[in-house]
Amino acid sequence: MGYPDQRFDVNLSILFTELPLLERPAAAAAAGFTAVELWWPWIETPTPPQAELDALKKALDDAGTQLVGLNFYAGQLPGPDRGALSVPGEESNRFRANIEVAAGFAASVGCTALNALYGNRVEGADPQVQDALALENLVLAARAADRVGAILLVETLNKPESPLYPLVSAPAAIEVVDRVNAATGLGNAKFLLDLYHLSMNGEDLSQVIKAYAAKTGHVQIADNPGRGAPGTGDLPLERLLDELKDAGYAGWVGLEYKPGERPSADSFDWLPPSARPAG
């Protein structure tokens, strides 16, 4: 048990950001990792030119890295936005334009998990109207994901850092997951369980794991406080990951932490090199 018993991947949208996007897969591989994940890399557009999609696929292939998680278009992330799918008007339209693009790219690289960030509450918009729009868009995304053999992820964020985001507890995200699965009948909507965000919300992490491991499709970690590498804060991450495994979770664990002042490659000293390749 412990860290060597997990399947880790590196989030290339928060680690190795000191490098251009197309150099990050090779940097992760040089650090010993064979699996990576990404937020939607083109924050300005849901529909980048095919040449840019091809270049990213080539960078992943050349590095020998497997993309195991990808966000749908989520607006300005990092930045003020926390997704687009529940935001009426142009942002919702941009999310819809992105669905087939993101699913198609995922299929081209063998990525089987697509994360759909819910989006912030908008001043002047009725929350019920936003939630109805969100369900509509999540159903479209779930069906597209299913067509390419992927799951759809719904993520809880944390209220201190994302005060306008409505899904700031595990039960809130699980409710959306259940609603999407009921609407599609596909069963491919899953919970993205991020131990950092849940801890920032003050949730009982062991209890969340017990209650929702069976509905969890992906896990992400960072220590708290600080959102740094494991060991820089107070979270018993090794024990919590063991609890997830004991509860039946056998999926990926995304490293979604800030490396701090040092280069990203120097932030993995908590993990033995032998435990970095995806087994």
Q: pLDDT of 85-130, one tens digit each?
A: 999 999 999 999 999 999 999 999 999 999 999 999 999 999 999 9
Please give the Cα distance from 71 to 37 (Å, whole number). Answer: 9
pLDDT in tens, 143-163: 999 999 999 999 999 999 999
Q: What pLDDT, on the 0 to 100 scale, is given for residue 141? A: 99
Of these residues, 37, 91, 155, 203, which one is catalytic? Answer: 155
Confirm whether 52 is a catalytic residue: no
Taking 80 as the threshold, does the pLDDT of residue 279 lie above it? Answer: no
Confirm whether 256 is a catalytic residue: yes
Token pair 């596909």 in the structure block, residue: 186
Please give the Cα distance from 158 to 225 (Å, whole number). Answer: 13
pLDDT in tens, 162-204: 999 999 999 999 999 999 999 999 999 999 999 999 999 999 9
Q: Give the dihedral of Cα atoms 263, 7, 184, 95; nearest 10 deg.
A: 10
Q: What pLDDT, on the 0 to 100 scale, is given for residue 1? A: 72
Phi, psi (rounded to 5 degrees) for 231: 100, -10
Q: What pLDDT, on the 0 to 100 scale, is given for residue 161? A: 98
pLDDT in tens, 27-62: 999 999 999 999 999 999 999 999 999 999 999 999
pTM greater than the 0.95 cutoff: yes
